[in-house]
Amino acid sequence: MVKHEKVANEVSIGFDIGISSVGWSVLDCHSGDVLETGVSIFSGANGDNNKERRSARQARRLLRRRQERVKDLRRLLVEYHFLNREDEKLDINNQYELRVKGLNNQLNDDEIAAVLLQIVKHRGISYDLGDLDDEDTAGTAFKESINHNRRELKDKTPGQIQYARLNKYHQVRGDFTVTEDNKTISLRNIYPTAAYVDEARQILNYQKQFNAKVNNDFINHVLQIIARKREYFKGPGSEKSRTDYGIYKTDGRNLDNLFEELIGKDKFYPDEYRAAASSYTAQLFNLLNDLNNLRITTTEDGHLTKEHKTVIIDKLLHTSRLSGGMLGLIAKVTGTSKNEIRGYRVDAKNKPDIQSMAVYRTVHNKLLDSGIDINEWPHELLDKIAFIMTLNTEPGEIRKQLMARVADYAEITPTVIDTLVTNHTAFDVKTNNQWHRFSLKLMNELIPEMLNTSKEQSTILNERGLIKKEKGLVTAADKIDINKITDDIYNPVVTKSIREALKIFNVLVQKYPNIIYTVVEMPRESNEDEQKKKIANFQKNNAKTKDAALNEFMAMANLNHAQLDAKLRQFKHLYTKIRLWYEQEDRDPYLGTPIDAVELATNPFAYEIDHIIPRTVSFDSRLSNEVVCASDANRVKGKRTPYEFMRDTASKHQSFEAMCAWIRSNKRLSYAKKKNLEFMDDLNSIEVRKRFISRNLVDTRYASRVILNGLQSYANESKHHNKMKVTVIRGQFTSWLRKKWNIPKSRETHHHHAVDATLIASTPLLSLWRKEQVNVLIPQKVNSELVDVATGEILEDDEYKQLTTLPFQDNFANTVRHLENSGRIKFHHQVDKKMNRQISDATIYSTRYAQLVKDKQATEYVVAKIKDIYTLDGWKNFKKIYDKDKSKFIMAQKDPQTFAKLEAVIKEYPTKEEIVLTNNKVKEVDVSPFELYRRDNGYITKYAKKNNGPKVVQVKYYDKKLGNHVDVTPKQAKNKHVVLQSLKPWRTDVYYNSENDKYEIMGIKYSDLQFIKGAYGISQKHYNELKTKEQIASNSEFVFSLYRNDRIKVMNDQNESVELLFGSRTKANKGYVELKPITQFGFIDTQSIPLYGKASNGRAIKPLAKTGWKIWKVNTDELGNPFYIAKESDKPQNIIVEN
C-alpha cells in the first residue's frame, strides 16, 4: 500500500459520484487552492446484465427439466413394453395427425409412444389462459390470440387445433397472423398444461379398450409426468438432498414456503417479519402517515385533527368508490378546497398519491358480492389473510395455508375459504413493494400516536429513541468500513459507484488529517444507457422548445434572424425572457396582461426575470422557478410568493384565483412551474423551509441518506476526523454555480467530473452560509421526508446573488475554468482482471462444409439465416446475397426445386409498390416481392409432389468461413458441427526479445481458461501451445501482462512518448492491439495520436511497438498517482502446472 505524506491544511473534499465515474477534489478552506483533484473511471454495474444471466439460467433449467421428463417417460414406456430400450428412435413424423386419430381410432404401440413423447415434451404453460386476463394486454394481438385459443379449447383438444392449423396454414409453433374474411387474426401456440393432460387422458382412455398394456396405473404414471411441476415456493432440494436455497434446510428445518425467509425482518424488531403491504394494519399505518404529512391552510395548526382522521378512516371503510379521490374526501371532511391541501406525494403522472385503503376496499366489495362483510372481522384476522395471500399465488396452496393458519377463527368457514381463494387477486398490491418495511408489532405501537397527533412515523421513531446512529463504521486504521455502508444499498449500480468513492475517501482521510467538509453529489440515473438517453432527450426537447420560442417571438416582434441575433447579443438574458414569454403564452402571470413582444425586444428594463419562490428559500434557479413579468410588479412582489403578493398587495395585479385559472389552461407550463405559482404555504415556516432544502439543495433520496448518515457516523466515531461535517447536495445547485461563475461544461472528456467535484467541494465555503453563522447546507440528520437543518432569514434576490460567492472568488473561478487543460487532473481506470466471465456471445452457430463459386475446395462455413424473406429488410438481405453469389444459399444446393420457386417469384413480382398517404398523395415504396406473392397466394411452400409442403419463411445461407471458435458439438452428434464465436480476450502477455530489440505479444482468451485444482487459470501445456502459435521466441523474456484498461507508456527512439490505455490484442494481425485514450471514452473520428498516427472511425488498432521502442506498464493508486514498471515479474501469473 502506498503511504502518502500528510498535509496539514484545513480542507473541503468534494465527490461527484456518477454511474461509471467518481470525480474528487481537495480544496484549501482558506485560500481556495485546489490541492489535488482526479477522476476514477470504472465500468458501471448494470442490472440488465443480471436479467440476461437469469434468462439464460431459466432457459437451461427448462431444457434440463424437459429432458428429464422425456427420459422418465421413455423409462416408463420401456417398463410397459412400448419401447425396447430407452434410446430407441421411432420412425414417425406425423404426431399431430396421430394425436387426432388416437381420440377415436386404434393406435399401435409405436404410435402411442410417439404421441405421448410429443405431449410430454411440449406440455404448455403451467397456468390457465384465463390468468393472462390479469396482465396488461387489453386490446393487444396477444390477448386476442389467447382468447381465440380459449374459445377453441371449449370443444377441441390442443392436438386437434394444432393439426387443423398445420393443414390450413402450414404452421403450428410460434406467432403468426392469418387473414380470413378480410380480418387479420393473430395465432399463438399457447395452451395450458391441463389441456394437454386432458388430451392425453382422452387418448389413453380410448386406447385402453384395444391395448392391455394401457391400464389405469400406466395412465396415472403418464399423466403425473406430463403435469409434474415443482411448486415454486418449495425451491430446490428434497428431504434427502437438503440445500439452504429451498425449504429443506441443511440445519434440518422444513419451511412451508421458501419466500417466508426472503420477506426480511423489521430493523427495529429483528425477530419480527415485515408485514404484508396489503394487510389492514399496513394500509391504515400508511394512511395515517400520509394524512399527518398534509398541510391544510384552513385548519388551526395546518394539520388534520384526530376527529378529521377518524371520519376519513370511517368513510374509507364504508365507501366502495371515491368519486373525488382522496383529495376530494379530505376537502369535504375539512370543509376546504383541494387547492388548500399540500404535502402529498405525486405519482409518475403527477397525480396525488395518498393511501386510500384501496386493497381493503377492493376485498370488501368483492366479498360483499358473496354476502361476506369483512368490516365485522377482527383486524388481526385480516392481517393474517393478507400475509397468506401475499406469500402464495397458487390457489391450492392458498387454500392449504388458510386451513392451517386461520381456520380456528369463527368467521372462517369452508364457504368463506372458497370465496377468498376465488378472489385472491383482490389482495394484489399495484406496486413492486409487496411487503411493508415495518412489522405489524411496530405499526400497532405507532398507530395510536399517529392518530392522536400530527406526527409522522420518522418523528415518532426518533422521539422514542428507535433511530440510532450506526456504530462500528470505523476500522482499526481509522478508515470507513465500506462493506457496512454499502450493505444497506440494494441497487447494484449505486453500490458500485459508492464503493469506488469510499475507496478514494479512505485514502484522503489518511493524507488529510484536517478535513472540515465532505460534500457528495450522487447520480440521478440507474445506469449508463439511461443517463445517455436522458441527456439526449433533454437536449432534443430543449432544442425543439428553443426553436419554437424564437420563431414565434420573431413573428410577434416582426424581426428576422439577423435582427434577432443582434438583439440577443445586445441585451443580456433576452433569450431566457423569450423562452419564458413563450411558455407563458405572452402573458404576465402576475398582472394578467399581455407581454408585448416588441417592447420585450427593445426595452430591457420593461420586463424582468422573477424567481417565483425566492432563491434564498427554494435554492432553485431552474426555469421551472422563473417567470418573466413587468418590472414594477416584480419590485412590489419582492421576496414573497405569488399568493402572498396577491393576498397582501392592493395594486393592479390579477387575483390569485384568476392566475390559477390561467395556469390550468396553459399547456406550455411545466408541472413544477405550475406548482410553484400555486404555492400557498408560509415561507417563514421552518417546516416549509426544510422541505425546500430537501427538495432542491440537500439530496434526501435513499442511497444519498445512507451515504450521508454513514459518513456522519464515521465522523462521530473517528479519532482524527470528528470535526468533519458532511452533506449530500443536488446537482442543480452546482449546475447553477457553474452558470453563475461562467464555467463551461464539456462532456467530451472525463475532466468535467473533476471540475464538478471542485465546485462541489467549494459549496460549504460560500459566503451565503456564513451570514448569521447559519449553514443550511449541513444537515443534522436526514430522513425520507425532511432534512433537519437550521434556517436563516429570507434574503432579497440581489443580496442572495452577492452571497453566493467565495471569499477567494475571482482566483478560484479562474483556476477552475482552466483546470481541464492544466494537466493537474489525475486519472485512475479500473483494470478488468476477472477470469470468470462470459467466454463468447451466447449464440450457437452451426457450420457446414461447402464449395462456393469462389472456392477451389470445400471449406467450413458458418451458417446464417434470413429470418423472414417477406419483410423489406429480409428481402434486401436476400437480394444482396443473391446478386453476389446465389450458391451461398443452402437451398440452392440442397433443394434446387424449392429455390426455383423463389426465383420464379423474383422474376414475376416487382420490388416497388404505390401507397396512398394520409394527404391522398401516392408514393412509391420498396417492398419484398415475396410479400406481394403472399398477399395473392399465401406463403411460398417447399416443393412437394402434392404441393402441400411446409411454408418457407426463413432461408439459410453460408456466411463467413469459420475462424477462431470453441467447438461445442455434442459427443453423440453425427455429421454436425456447432461452435461459439466472438471469443472475448482476457489478457495479453508481453515479451521482450533483446536480440532484435522488439516486443512480442500473445493473447489469452477467456475460452483458454480452465478451473483446475480449485482455481481458475491456464494450464502450462496450453500456455506453451499458445506461445508457439503466437511465435514468441524461445529466448524472449516475459516483462508484464496487460489487461483491459491497463495504462501504458510508450517511447520511441526519438524519446517522444505517449500514455494510453490498453484495450485488447486484436486477432486479425500479429502484434496489433487496440489502444484507447486516458482522458475520454474513445478517439474522435480520425484524431491524431502521438507516435501512432491517426485513429480510424474513432478506433486505434495499431502495432504495439516498433523496433527500438520502449514500453512501461503504468500502475496507478486510488488517487491516480502513476508508478512506471519496465518489468513486472520473471514469469506470468495464473499458469497452472498439471502433474
Q: Is the pLDDT of residue 783 over 80?
A: no
- The reported pLDDT for the residue numbered 734 is 82
**Burial zone of 287 (CB within 10 Å; 0-12 exposed, 13-18 middle, 19+ buried):** buried
H-run or E-run covering 149: helix 141-153
16, 290, 610, 1008: which one is catalytic?
16
Query: Tens digits of per-residue pLDDT, 25-77?
Result: 999 999 999 999 999 999 876 666 677 777 888 888 889 999 999 999 999 99
Instruction: Write down the residue that cell numbers 427554494 correspond to.
Output: 618
- The reported pLDDT for the residue numbered 184 is 76
Instruction: Write down the residue that cell numbers 473534499 correspond to.
Output: 13
Is 611 designated active site? yes
Lowest-pLDDT range, 290-294, 420-424, 963-967? 963-967
Q: Is the pLDDT of residue 135 over 50?
A: no
Nearest to 99 by CA among 142, 162, 144, 53: 162
Query: Tens digits of per-residue pLDDT, 440-485?
Result: 999 999 999 999 999 888 888 888 877 665 667 888 788 888 888 8
Mean pLDDT of 124-150: 68
**What span, in angstroms and rounded, lies between the C-alpha atoms of 1068 and 652?**
78
With bands split at pLDDT 50, 70 and 90, how would you rate the model's confidence at 690?
low
**What span, in angstroms and rounded, lies between the C-alpha atoms of 261 and 257?**
8
- CB neighbour list of residue 538: distance below 8 Å, 6 or more residues apart: none
Query: Tens digits of per-residue pLDDT, 281-317?
Result: 999 999 999 999 888 877 878 899 999 999 999 999 9
Q: Write down which residue in 681, 710, 726 finishes a domain.
A: 681
Q: Which three cell numbers stand for residue 896?
A: 434446387
Residue 90 shares a structural domain with residue 177: yes
CA 16 → CA 142, 754, 768, 885, distances in Å? 46, 8, 22, 56
> What is the model's pTM?
0.72
For the four alpha carbons of 812, 813, 816 and 817, in that order, the dihedral sign comes to negative
For the four alpha carbons of 812, 813, 814 and 817, in that order, the dihedral sign comes to positive
H-run or E-run covering 1114: strand 1110-1116
Instruction: Write down the residue that cell numbers 376530494 correspond to.
Output: 328
- The reported pLDDT for the residue numbered 203 is 96
Q: What CATH number is associated with residue 810?
A: 3.30.420.10
The reply, when asked if residue 873 is annotated as ligand binding, is: no
Residue 699 shares a structural domain with residue 822: yes
Q: Which of left, alpha, beta for 302 (phi over 0: left; psi -120 to 50: alpha)?
A: left
Cβ atoms within 10 Å, residue 821 = 9
* 245 found inside a domain: no
- The reported pLDDT for the residue numbered 492 is 74
Q: Write down which residue in 463, 485, 515 finishes a domain.
A: 463
Cβ atoms within 10 Å, residue 463 = 11
Nearest to 734 by CA among 764, 704, 709: 764
Query: Tens digits of per-residue pLDDT, 995-1013?
Result: 999 999 999 999 899 888 8
Query: Tens digits of per-residue pLDDT, 575-598?
Result: 999 999 999 999 999 999 999 999
Residue 452 shares a structural domain with residue 593: no
Residue 1064 shares a structural domain with residue 1002: yes
916 or 863, higher pLDDT = 863
- The reported pLDDT for the residue numbered 697 is 58
Query: Tens digits of per-residue pLDDT, 180-196?
Result: 777 778 888 889 999 99
With bands split at pLDDT 50, 70 and 90, how would you rate the model's confidence at 117?
very high
* 1100 found inside a domain: yes
**What span, in angstroms and rounded, lies between the C-alpha atoms of 818 and 829?**
23
- The reported pLDDT for the residue numbered 229 is 84
303, 308, 611, 653: which one is catalytic?
611
The reply, when asked if residue 521 is annotated as ligand binding, is: yes
For the four alpha carbons of 351, 355, 359 and 362, in that order, the dihedral sign comes to negative
Give the CA-trace dihedral at 594, 596, 597, 599, to 10 degrees: -150
Cβ atoms within 10 Å, residue 511 = 17
* 172 found inside a domain: yes
- The reported pLDDT for the residue numbered 470 is 60
Mean pLDDT of 494-520: 92
**What span, in angstroms and rounded, lies between the C-alpha atoms of 351 and 215?**
63
Residue 782 shares a structural domain with residue 763: yes
Residue 950 shares a structural domain with residue 1060: no
- The reported pLDDT for the residue numbered 516 is 93
Q: Which three cell numbers stand for residue 182?
A: 378480410
**608 and 600 Cβ atoms separated by less than 8 Å:** no
Residue 297 shares a structural domain with residue 430: yes
Pairing of strands 825-829, 34-41: parallel
Residues 153, 175, 124: CA angle, nearest 5 degrees: 45
DSSP E strand stretches across 664-789: 725-729, 781-782, 787-788
Mean pLDDT value across the chain: 86
**What domain range includes position 597?**
543-681
The DSSP string of 773-796 is: G--TTS-SEE-SS-EE----PPPP
Domain count within the chain: 6
Residue 165 shares a structural domain with residue 111: yes
The reply, when asked if residue 266 is annotated as ligand binding, is: no
185 or 569, higher pLDDT = 569
**What span, in angstroms and rounded, lies between the C-alpha atoms of 227 and 221?**
10
Q: Write down which residue in 440, 463, 486 finishes a domain.
A: 463
**What span, in angstroms and rounded, lies between the C-alpha atoms of 670 and 668?**
6
Residue 302 shares a structural domain with residue 342: yes
Mean pLDDT of 926-943: 90
For the chain, how many helices (H) and strands (E)?
40, 37
DSSP E strand stretches across 681-771: 725-729
Residues 466, 468, 471: CA angle, nearest 5 degrees: 150
* 231 found inside a domain: no
Radius of gyration of the chain (CA): 36
Q: Which three cell numbers stand for residue 928?
A: 419484398
Query: Tens digits of per-residue pLDDT, 861-911?
Result: 999 999 999 999 999 999 999 999 999 999 999 999 999 999 999 999 999
* 132 found inside a domain: yes
With bands split at pLDDT 50, 70 and 90, how would you rate the model's confidence at 131?
low
**What span, in angstroms and rounded, lies between the C-alpha atoms of 219 and 229?**
18
With bands split at pLDDT 50, 70 and 90, how would you rate the model's confidence at 136?
very low
Lowest-pLDDT range, 246-250, 343-347, 949-953, 992-996? 343-347
Mean pLDDT of 634-655: 83
The reply, when asked if residue 525 is annotated as ligand binding, is: yes
**What span, in angstroms and rounded, lies between the C-alpha atoms of 61 and 232?**
13
**What span, in angstroms and rounded, lies between the C-alpha atoms of 11 and 757?**
13
Q: Which of left, alpha, beta for 1134 (phi over 0: left; psi -120 to 50: alpha)?
A: left
Residue 992 shares a structural domain with residue 1132: yes
**What span, in angstroms and rounded, lies between the C-alpha atoms of 689 and 616?**
10
Give the CA-trace dihedral at 27, 29, 30, 36, to 10 degrees: -20
**1075 and 1089 Cβ atoms separated by less than 8 Å:** yes
Residue 1001 shares a structural domain with residue 1092: yes
**What span, in angstroms and rounded, lies between the C-alpha atoms of 15 and 10?**
17
Enumerate the β-bridge partners of residue 1050.
Answer: 1058, 1111
Is 547 designated active site? no
Residue 346 shares a structural domain with residue 370: yes
Q: What is the DSSP letter of 919?
A: T
With bands split at pLDDT 50, 70 and 90, how would you rate the model's confidence at 234?
confident
Q: Which three cell numbers stand for residue 401?
A: 395455508
H-run or E-run covering 150: helix 141-153
Q: Is the pLDDT of residue 137 over 50?
A: no
Enumerate the β-bridge partners of residue 1123.
Answer: 1115
Q: What percent of the chain has pLDDT over 70?
A: 90
Nearest to 766 by CA among 796, 722, 736, 721: 736
Lowest-pLDDT range, 30-39, 282-291, 529-538, 760-769? 529-538
Exposure on the CB side of residue 136, measured as CA atoms within 13 A: 1
* 149 found inside a domain: yes
472 or 711, higher pLDDT = 711
- The reported pLDDT for the residue numbered 756 is 93
Highest mean pLDDT among 162-176, 455-469, 943-957, 1108-1122: 1108-1122
Nearest to 933 by CA among 907, 959, 956, 972: 907
Q: What percent of the chain has pLDDT over 90?
A: 48
Q: 912-918 long-range CB contacts below 8 Å, 24 or more apart?
A: none
With bands split at pLDDT 50, 70 and 90, how would you rate the model's confidence at 785?
very low
* 264 found inside a domain: no
Q: Which of left, alpha, beta for 182 (phi over 0: left; psi -120 to 50: alpha)?
A: left
Mean pLDDT of 1126-1138: 92
* 839 found inside a domain: no
**What span, in angstroms and rounded, lies between the C-alpha atoms of 1050 and 1057?**
5
Mean pLDDT of 936-945: 88
- Total count of residues recorded for the chain: 1139
Cβ atoms within 10 Å, residue 181 = 5
Q: Which three cell numbers stand for residue 1011?
A: 478451473
- CB neighbour list of residue 623: distance below 8 Å, 6 or more residues apart: 576, 579, 580, 583, 670, 673
Q: Is the pLDDT of residue 148 over 80?
A: yes
Instruction: Write down the residue that cell numbers 376485498 correspond to.
Output: 363
Mean pLDDT of 655-670: 90
**364 and 323 Cβ atoms separated by less than 8 Å:** no
Angle between helices 702-717 and 492-511 (to 10 degrees): 30
Query: Tens digits of per-residue pLDDT, 1043-1063?
Result: 999 999 999 999 999 999 999
